[in-house]
Amino acid sequence: MKVSPEIVSLIPYKPGKPISETQREYGLTKVIKLASNENPLGPSPKAIAAIKNLLQQLHRYPDPTAYDLLQTLSKKWNFPVQQLGLGNGSDELIDILVRIYCEPGDGVLTSQSAFSAYEISAQANRAKVHIVPYTSDYKFDLKAMGDYFFAHPEAKIRLIFIANPNNPTGTYAPRAEVEAFLSRLGNREDVLIVFDEAYNEFVRAKDYANADEFIRKYKNVIALRTFSKIFGLAGLRLGGMVAPPEVIEIFNRVRKPFNVNDLAQVAAVAALQDSEFIAASQQIVWKGLDYFYEKLQKMGLPYIESQGNFVMFDTLRDAAQVNEALLRKGIIMRPIKNYGFATHLRLSVGLEEENLAAMTALEEVLKTIPQAK
């Protein structure tokens, strides 16, 4: 059977190495996974209780309208239900947006080293990906992205993905840069600007703004949020979207009716109200990042200050080699060569003792592998 060239050349998403696989391959019992930006505190206890309560109902189909969750989200996020959409993880939201708005050959615009889901969804849907280089400090170059859009009308760019903050770099676009970008592209009829805000709850930068105010000001702006990170529900697959009502109306026609299961719905309602857990999740990440910065600095390894729950650092060596040695010690970090970083690793914040074990292992490993640059 013939398969389209976009599909043939598709490189699948490379997830973090699972704990069980690492135990099996390296003959280890104790393994620490700091590779997938998961919440080290686990799921919100309130979410677990809500799920337990619902288990007797698993023979039922989920509520396709997600009534309770959308009501709760509407109050928390301050947007009417008509502007909210839900997906099986925000990766499904990304995929459906591309499917809706890109005809084969249309363009999707993003940055070099942006979260890889944009490119994968674009390719899978026969759209063409246009990549603008990042700035010298690894940030999305919004000025250059705007220039690219206007310089290439033939690219028919229909969607622009801005991960804010971005994974794996941990960088963000400051409010002023977003404002300048939207003053050029806001309210256009031919392009949607999607801010992927998977990590917005972890941002400490004072000059950061999430997309809320821009969604109110411009009619072509979308924000994606996830329950996989601060809410600790990655396994349940739930993403949320704030968008213009017209987008949500079309989205709800295209999505599968039961894309968000009932367990995810009740867990999210509970987690959204668990402010204690949210605050604790922020605190552990901020403390963990500061600890990593201090240790990396002492080891002489350059890092990028992160607005997420992870940090990308330069091992100054072949990162694959460093990673392999870390795995042998039972520490799973994330190689990011697929993002163009051959000497860097990405490290998620874990529990205090996990962070300590990771830094101790790294220090030992560095001694055994000579610096390459």
Ligand X SMILES: *Cc1c(COP(=O)(O)O)cnc(C)c1O
Give me the residues that bind ligand X (CB under 6 A), please.
37, 89-91, 115, 163, 167, 196, 198, 226, 228-229, 234, 239
Sign of torsion, CA 299 352 307 223? positive
User: Shortest Cβ distance from residue 37 to ligand X (Å)?
Assistant: 6
Residue closer to ligand X, measured from CB, 37 or 72: 37
User: Shortest Cβ distance from residue 232 to ligand X (Å)?
Assistant: 11
Q: 342: helix, coil or strand?
A: strand
Sign of torsion, CA 165 169 175 180? negative
Token pair in block for residue 356: 């300590």
Residue closer to ligand X, measured from CB, 87 or 107: 87
User: Shortest Cβ distance from residue 93 to ligand X (Å)?
Assistant: 8
User: Shortest Cβ distance from residue 310 to ligand X (Å)?
Assistant: 9
User: Shortest Cβ distance from residue 178 to ligand X (Å)?
Assistant: 16
Q: Print burial letters for 79-108: b (CB count within 10 Å at least 16), e (below 16).
A: bebebbbbbbbbbbbbbbbbbbbbeeebbb
Residue closer to ligand X, measured from CB, 259 or 355: 259
What is the C-alpha separation between 288 and 309, in angstroms, rounded?
A: 9
User: Shortest Cβ distance from residue 148 to ligand X (Å)?
Assistant: 21
Residue closer to ligand X, measured from CB, 237 or 329: 237
Token pair in block for residue 19: 């704990």
User: Shortest Cβ distance from residue 89 to ligand X (Å)?
Assistant: 3
Burial (Cβ within 10 Å: 0-12, 13-18, ≥19) of residue 198: buried
Residue closer to ligand X, measured from CB, 13 or 150: 13
Token pair in block for residue 85: 């959409």
Residue closer to ligand X, measured from CB, 229 or 329: 229
Token pair in block for residue 137: 């400090």
Residue closer to ligand X, measured from CB, 62 or 89: 89
Q: 30: helix, coil or strand?
A: coil
Tell me the residue number closest to ligand X, measured at CB. 89
DSSP for 126-162 reads TPEEEEE---TTS---HHHHHHHHHH-GGG-EEEEEE
